[in-house]
Structure 1
């Protein structure tokens, strides 16, 4: 009997011990789950806080920036500069961006003498310009398209043929497989970034024989469209159906071909500053931050250009 009692008490003790262990496990599991839930809630709150903080920082920066930014220079960069100005002023409503289009040379001169914050140039800066403390900030790559009037049957030119037209060696379209018609050679005025880039790329500096020298990209387009037998050069982003565009060495002037290096007439779009970007005022630095951002690169693409990086 005594032995049976001992067995019963032992069994009861084991049952109690087992229940205690199970209860302990249940309690620990509940506490761990609660702790994990609290941690997850804290992490989520922290993430939301980071997003809110970032948005607040952007809003604060927009509110802090006040004043103006002045850009002067290339007419070829008008489309890009106008789009950039509009978007930037939407983001920073207390900043006014003023853009004037008077040619690349005038733009570099303006930033050199302090008359503008940024000098827009549709070409690389010259050594003499850099020696005056002007920094070359490339923001986009542009192709130079060669255009003719819509009635011209010639649609492709080799590099040598293009050079011969502009240096005055070839003067009639019949020599290039076209009609018996004089070639009317149209170009930009002295000081134009487009002209400088075009002549440098073809090694025709001071060697071109122009029939007309016009002071804007728009004027070249209009003159070529309305003049039988004409040829001219313009920025890639202004092309429309009022003119015909030549292939060069059987390559179309497209962003893809320029990136691939198969189209030989391309040039940089430069937003020059006096000193490095880091030395500029906050408004100018913010403008460069934007154009070099992913959103800025999309803006560059939207106006038919290639982002610089």
Structure 2
């Protein structure tokens, strides 16, 4: 009987141990489930962080694409386009500090040739391309319009000329100011150098190509024509509108004032385009961006500020 009692007590002890173990296992399962929920939460945060990192990487990539302009944009050509070229270049470089834009003022013909030969990416011209130049595989873009003003010294009593009179003066057929409404004084003719876009446009429009008087003073660049006329009371010259100031007096031509408005409406006849010329295969993303800037609203505001006539 005593032996049976001992067996029963051992059985009770074993059952108690099993029950306690079951409770611990239940608690353990609950703990495991809690940990699973925490882990799921961490995984969710990790996914969110990864998404944010991916988004940040995309944003940084976009910024890199906007800020990766760097290198050289080389321009050469017309002295008439120089003021506009330099001013737009300075503003473009301010917006894109890793880009350098250079402008060499060497005349329209040399600028067109440089663009053809790849010496500079862009050439500029203050006249239409010649037939020969149109066969060089170049692309031309009009970035502005300009008038050519016929100027004299402010003290000259003559104020108006016809286009025919201008032609006769530059051909040497009229040599005295009294024949065109001025004083009895010799006319000192000032012209531009060979290859000048302003000279080419002026001679073509006024129609005296290859007939310039042998007595003409040849001045290189619009600025030199301007200062030569400003220092000589008998002089006559021609310059881009961008070089008109109070040191010289522009003539009315056929009764029309040399103003941007009169060029746009077609009333002032001595006018020409400002061109940028290039070969497509030489264009870089920086040069494309610069040309786009010149043609933008901001670029065209600079064109106007520098005396040009905007194209849009």
Q: TM-score range by the shorter chain?
A: 0.7 to 0.9
Post-superposition CA distance 1:118-150 (Å, at most 9, x none): 001111111211211112211000110110012
Q: How much does 1:61 deviate?
A: 4.3
Task: Please give the secondary structure, in 1, of the residue aligned with 2:210.
Answer: coil
1:202 — aligned with what? 206
CA contact (8 A) 1:111 1:118 kept: yes
Residue number in structure 2 paired with 1:291: 294
Instruction: Show the counterpart of 1:28.
Output: none
C-alpha distance 161-133 of structure 1, shift in aligned 2 (>3 A): same
For 1:34-73, list aligned pairs within 5 A: 60-73=64-77
Runs of 4+ in structure 1 over 4 Å off: none
Given candidates 300, 306, 310, the residue that maps to 1:303 is 306
Alignment length (residue pairs) = 254
Q: 2:81 aligns with which of 77, 86, 99?
A: 77
Partner of 2:97: 93
Q: TM-score, normalised by structure 2?
A: 0.78
What is aligned with 1:260? 265
Match in the other structure for 1:113: 117
Q: 1:116, CA displacement in angstroms? A: 0.2
For residues 131-150 of structure 1, what are the structure 2 equivalents within 5 Å?
131-150=135-154
- The gaps in structure 1 that reach 5 residues or longer are 1-52
Match of 1:243 among 238, 242, 248: 248
> How far apart are residue 271 of structure 1 and its match?
0.7
Question: Residue 230 of structure 1: which of 231, 235, 246 is its match?
Answer: 235
Residue 126 of structure 1 pairs with residue 101 of structure 2: no
Preserved CA contact (<8 Å) 1:124 1:136: no
Measure, in 1, the Cα distance between the counterparts of 2:285 and 2:305: 26
Q: Is the 8 A contact 1:88 1:287 kept in 2?
A: yes
Residues in 2 aligned to 1:127 and 1:284: alpha-carbon distance in whole angstroms: 26
How many Å separate the matches in 2 of 1:202 and 1:137? 24
Q: Distance in 2 between matches of 1:211 and 1:129?
A: 28
Q: Distance in 2 between matches of 1:99 and 1:297?
A: 18
SS of 2:146's partner is strand
Residues 65-112 of structure 1: CA deviation (Å, up to 9, x unaligned): 110100001111111011011001011110000110011111111111
Name the larger-Rg structure: 2
For residues 220 and 60 of structure 1, do their structure 2 counterparts lie closer, same or farther at Cα, with a shift above 3 Å needed? same
Partner of 2:29: none
In structure 1, distance between residues paired with 2:254 and 2:261: 16
Kindly indicate whether the alpha-carbon contact (under 8 Å) linking 1:62 and 1:93 is maintained by their aligned counterparts in 2: no
CA displacement at 1:62 relative to structure 2 = 4.6
Specify the alignment match of 2:226 in structure 1. 221
SS at match of 1:267: strand
Alignment match, 1:274 = 279
- Does 1:168 find its partner at 2:172? yes
